[in-house]
Amino acid sequence: MTDSPIYKSIIAKFPAMGSLPSRKRGLGIGHFAAVGVAALALTLSACSSESESATGPTVAELTESGTITIGTKFDQPGFGFMNPETNEPEGFDVEIGKIIAANLGISPENITWVEAVSAQKEQLIEEGVVDLVVATYTINDQRKQAVSFAGPYFVAGQDLMVTKGNPLAISGPEDLAGKNVCSAKGSTSAQNIQTNYPQAQLTLFDVYSECTEALKNGEVDAVSTDNTILLGFVSQDPDAFEVVGKPFTQEPYGIGVKREDSDFRNFINDALEASYADGSWVAAWEATAGNFMETPAPPAVDRY
**Digit-coded pLDDT (tens) for 213-245:** 999 999 999 999 999 999 999 999 999 999 999
Q: What angle do CA 119, 129, 57 make, to 5 degrees?
A: 125
Lowest mean pLDDT among 25-39, 51-65, 125-139: 25-39
Residue 5 has pLDDT above 50, yes or no: no
**CATH, domain 158-243, list 3.40.50.10300, 3.40.50.2020, 1.10.150.120, 3.40.190.10:** 3.40.190.10
Q: State phi, psi for 259 to the nearest 5 degrees.
A: -60, -40
Residue 24 has pLDDT above 90, yes or no: no
β pairing state of 180-184 and 222-226: parallel
Can you give the pLDDT at residue 75?
95
Q: What percent of the chain has pLDDT over 90?
A: 82
- Of residues 199 and 42, which shows the higher confidence score? 199
Can you give the pLDDT at residue 146?
97
Residue 34 has pLDDT above 90, yes or no: no
Can you give the pLDDT at residue 54?
60
pLDDT, average across residues 278-291: 98
Nearest partner of 235 among 211, 263, 262, 212, judged by Cα: 212
What is the Cα–Cα distance from 137 to 124, expressed in whole angstroms?
A: 13
Can you give the pLDDT at residue 252?
98
Q: How do the domains of the chain map onto residue ranges?
A: 5-55, 61-150+255-291, 158-243
Architecture of domain 61-150+255-291: 3-Layer(aba) Sandwich (3.40)
Q: What is the reported pTM?
A: 0.81
Residue 295 has pLDDT above 70, yes or no: yes
Q: Does the fold of domain 158-243 match that of domain 61-150+255-291?
A: yes
Burial label for 11, CB within 10 Å (0-12, 13-18, 19+), is middle
Contacts within 8 Å (CB) and 24+ apart, 189-198: 189/158, 189/224, 189/225, 189/226, 190/224, 192/158, 192/249, 193/224, 197/173
pLDDT, average across residues 59-71: 98
**How confident is the model over 160-186, as pLDDT tens digits?**
999 999 999 999 999 999 999 999 999
